[in-house]
Every structure is written in C-alpha cells, then in structure tokens.
C-alpha cells in the first residue's frame, strides 16, 4: 500500500469501532488507474451507490469519493496503479442495529500495479474448481460487499501452481472466480453465469458483454455447470485489474486458441484505451 485517506485525511488506522471491521458492514471497489485516470470510474461509483442503497448506507456522493481518488492520483503520469475504495456504515455502538443516516467511513487506498497482470495477459492462466461454495442470497447478489469470506477461503485452495479457481452455488451452477467473473464460448455464443442469486457483477464483465454485442456476438446470461465449462470451446475471466484474461487450462482440460475471444479482447482493448483518454 502506497497511500491512504480515511474520510479525506491521510491515515493508516481506522477506528476499532468501525462496523466494516465488526460485521463487514460496507462495500468496496477496486479500480485500475492509468496515471491520474481511474478507469470506468463512473461505473464503479454507480455500483457503489447502488450497493449503498441496498445496504441502507448513506452514500457520501460521487463527487466526494472522486475527490479522494483524485487526491491520491495527483501528479501521476504514466504509471499504472490500483485504487481500492471502501465505504462502511461508519462507527457504531455494540450490536447489529444501526441508525438511519449514520455518517459512513470512506477509505481510499492506492497500491502499486501488480506484476502478475502482464504475465497473465501474455501467457494466460491455469484454473480449477474450488470446494468452497458461494451461498445464495438474492438480496445481496451482484453488489460488492465486505462479506468476502467465501472468496478468501476459495483462494486458499489454489496453491502456487494455480492462478484462479471457480466457485459454484449449492445447486452446482458455477458462479464466479475467487476474484473474477467467468465467460465461456460454446459454439458461436458467449455465455456467462447468471448473478441474480449470488456473485458479484463486475464492471469489466458489463464492458465485455457490451463489447461482444457490439461485435455482433450472441451473449447469453445463464446457468453453467462444471461439465458445460469443461466441454466449452474456450474460457476467460475478467476483472477491473486484469481486464480479459484467457484461461489455458481448467482442471485436466486444455484450451486452444479461440477466434471469438481474440475478437472480444481486441474490442475491449479499444474500449479501455478510449476510457483512459476520457477527461472527466
């Protein structure tokens, strides 16, 4: 971690009474930044605002969150970095109950760009299915809350030889990676799991869906089984930091080059470059 603002003030410490720590009572966003430009920032802030509405957390406003981010990116030129934005319900007394309109805590952290991203983009990644399942709760589906123990424990199954793993729900539908969304190519269609009951709907996932449609590719949001994935023509994962990352291997299955994935990757690159040039 290179720099942190808590409620706009540089600090490395949060109140021990913060409800984020006690209950995971909050939200976060992970934002890729090129120099001083946070990518897809409107979409990230929009998702956080939607999450705050669902959790009943007073949203501090996009302008204030943007001000924190800009302060941490000020003067940066070409270096990539990562901004993690956390919004919690704020400090609280003992107990789950909260006051409406409680003052939330905003945490804005800047980290160095991770070294594995370029390697993954060049080489693709190896993946597996995780034992850890993702629990179904439609009320919390799609949003990016601080309740992330399933992702943590699934990532603990990966070991050093495996880059990413996939979590299924209790009905056997594969939902997401530990830190990514998942796409599969079957025949001429791009498929991605339905996240209306669980999982996090990634910002990059939405960009990829839009991008594929713009390229004239049929996109289907549906249930996918392990077998569907193992029998698919190709798989890739996505998140805001890695963008689109090709899966070379899932368990024992190896995948070969997919023209469709190449087309989407090229289209997505144009979108990302275009967003990086936006001045907002």
Strand order in the sheet with 37-38: 9-10, 3-6, 105-112, 80-88, 26-34, 37-38
In this structure, the number of other CB atoms found within 10 A of the CB of residue 59 comes to 18
The backbone torsions φ and ψ at residue 71, rounded to the nearest 5 degrees and listed phi first, read -65, -40
Tell me which of 117, 121, 136, 276 binds its own copies, using CB under 8 A. Answer: 136
Question: How far is 69 from 65, CA to CA, in rounded Å?
Answer: 6
Question: How far is 191 from 203, CA to CA, in rounded Å?
Answer: 17
Minimum CB distance to its own copies smaller for 114 or for 172: 114
Q: Which range of residues in 139-147, 185-193, 226-234, 255-263 is near its own copies by CB under 8 A? A: 139-147
Residue 219 binds its own copies, judged by CB under 8 A? no
Tell me which of 8, 61, 64, 156 binds its own copies, using CB under 8 A. Answer: 156
The backbone torsions φ and ψ at residue 197, rounded to the nearest 5 degrees and listed phi first, read -110, -20
111 in Cβ contact with 120 (< 8 Å): no
Q: Which range of residues in 63-71, 82-90, 218-226, 268-276 is near its own copies by CB under 8 A? A: 82-90
**Buried/exposed code over 182-215 (b: 16+ C-beta within 10 A; e: otherwise):** bbbbbeeebbbbbbebbbbbbbbbebbbebbeee
Taking the complex as a whole, how short is the minimal distance between the CB of residue 215 and its own copies, in angstroms?
Answer: 31
Minimum CB distance to its own copies smaller for 56 or for 61: 56
Q: Which range of residues in 41-49, 127-135, 219-227, 251-259 is near its own copies by CB under 8 A? A: 127-135
Minimum CB distance to its own copies smaller for 45 or for 82: 82
Residue 34: CB partners within 8 Å, gap ≥ 6?
Answer: 78, 80, 276
Build a one-symbol-per-residue string for 177-196: x at contacts with its own copies by CB under 8 A, - elsewhere: -xx-----------------
Tell me which of 74, 77, 95, 280 binds its own copies, using CB under 8 A. Answer: 95
Taking the complex as a whole, how short is the minimal distance between the CB of residue 31 and its own copies, in angstroms?
Answer: 12
Build a one-symbol-per-residue string for 228-247: x at contacts with its own copies by CB under 8 A, - elsewhere: --------------------
Tell me which of 71, 102, 133, 189 binds its own copies, using CB under 8 A. Answer: 133
In this structure, the number of other CB atoms found within 10 A of the CB of residue 30 comes to 18
- For binding to its own copies (CB under 8 A), which residues are involved? 1, 4, 6, 11-25, 28, 30, 55-56, 82, 84, 86, 88-89, 93-98, 107, 109, 111, 114, 131-140, 145-156, 158, 170, 178-179, 198
């Amino acid at each position: 971690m290179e720099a942190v603002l808590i409620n706009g003030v540089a600090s490395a410490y949060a109140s021990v009474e913060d409800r984020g720590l006690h209950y995971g009572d909050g939200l976060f966003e992970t934002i890729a930044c090129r120099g001083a430009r946070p990518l897809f920032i409107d979409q990230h802030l929009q998702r956080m605002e939607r999450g705050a509405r669902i959790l009943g957390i007073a949203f501090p406003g996009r302008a204030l969150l943007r001000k924190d981010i800009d302060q941490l990116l000020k003067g940066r030129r070409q270096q990539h970095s990562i901004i993690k934005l956390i919004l919690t319900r704020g400090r609280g007394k003992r107990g789950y109950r909260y006051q409406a309109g409680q003052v939330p805590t905003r945490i804005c952290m800047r980290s160095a760009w991770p070294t594995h991203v370029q390697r993954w983009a060049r080489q693709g990644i190896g993946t597996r299915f995780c034992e850890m399942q993702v629990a179904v709760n439609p009320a919390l589906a799609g949003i990016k809350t601080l309740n992330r123990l399933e992702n943590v424990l699934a990532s603990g199954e990966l070991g050093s030889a495996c880059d990413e793993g996939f979590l299924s729900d209790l009905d056997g539908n594969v939902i997401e990676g530990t830190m990514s969304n998942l796409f599969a190519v079957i025949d001429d269609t791009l498929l991605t799991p339905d996240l209306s009951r669980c999982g996090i709907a990634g910002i990059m996932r939405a960009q990829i869906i839009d991008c594929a449609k713009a390229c004239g590719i049929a996109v289907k949001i549906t249930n996918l089984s392990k077998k569907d994935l193992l029998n698919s023509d190709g798989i890739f994962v996505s998140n805001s930091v890695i963008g689109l990352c090709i899966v070379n291997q899932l368990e024992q299955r190896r995948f070969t080059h997919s023209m469709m994935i190449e087309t989407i990757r090229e289209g997505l690159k144009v979108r990302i470059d275009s967003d990086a040039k936006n001045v907002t």
